[in-house]
């Protein structure tokens, strides 16, 4: 399987690039129309959830800086 890159954007979406599938809570697969890059909503304002439609602009702030999670218990 090809590598998938997930980018958490500042004050915006989560960008998925590569080979992946997105499924709903019932396991049904979203038809991505052949896209290899999609952005998922993080702000909750998109009219096209789970996909980003840009509604976060000026309405959502988060500085995306990587950090280490604590060890698993």
Residue 2 has pLDDT above 70, yes or no: no
Range of the domain at 32: 1-62
In a domain, 34, yes or no: yes
Residue with tokens 């000026």: 58
Task: Examine residue 35 and state whether it is found in any structural domain, yes or no.
Answer: yes
Average pLDDT over residues 37-61: 96
pLDDT of residue 1: 55
The answer to whether position 15 is within a domain reads yes
Mean pLDDT of 35-64: 96
Q: Quick check: is 72 in a domain? A: no
Mean pLDDT of the chain: 95
The answer to whether residue 23 sits within a structural domain is yes
The answer to whether residue 69 sits within a structural domain is: no
Please state the domain count of the chain. Answer: 1
For residue 67, is it within any domain? no
Q: Distance between CA 60 and CA 52 in Å, rounded? A: 12
SS3 for the chain is CCCCEEEECCCCCEEEECCCCCECCCCCECCCCCCCEEEECCCCCCCCCCECCCCCCCCCCCCCCCCCCCCCC
């Amino acid at each position: 399987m090809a590598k998938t890159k997930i980018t958490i954007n500042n004050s915006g979406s989560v960008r998925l690039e590569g080979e992946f599938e997105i499924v709903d809570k019932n396991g049904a697969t979203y038809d991505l129309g052949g896209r290899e890059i999609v952005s998922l909503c993080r702000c909750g304002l998109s009219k096209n959830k789970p996909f980003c439609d840009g509604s976060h602009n000026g309405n959502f702030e988060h500085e995306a800086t990587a950090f280490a999670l604590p060890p698993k218990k």
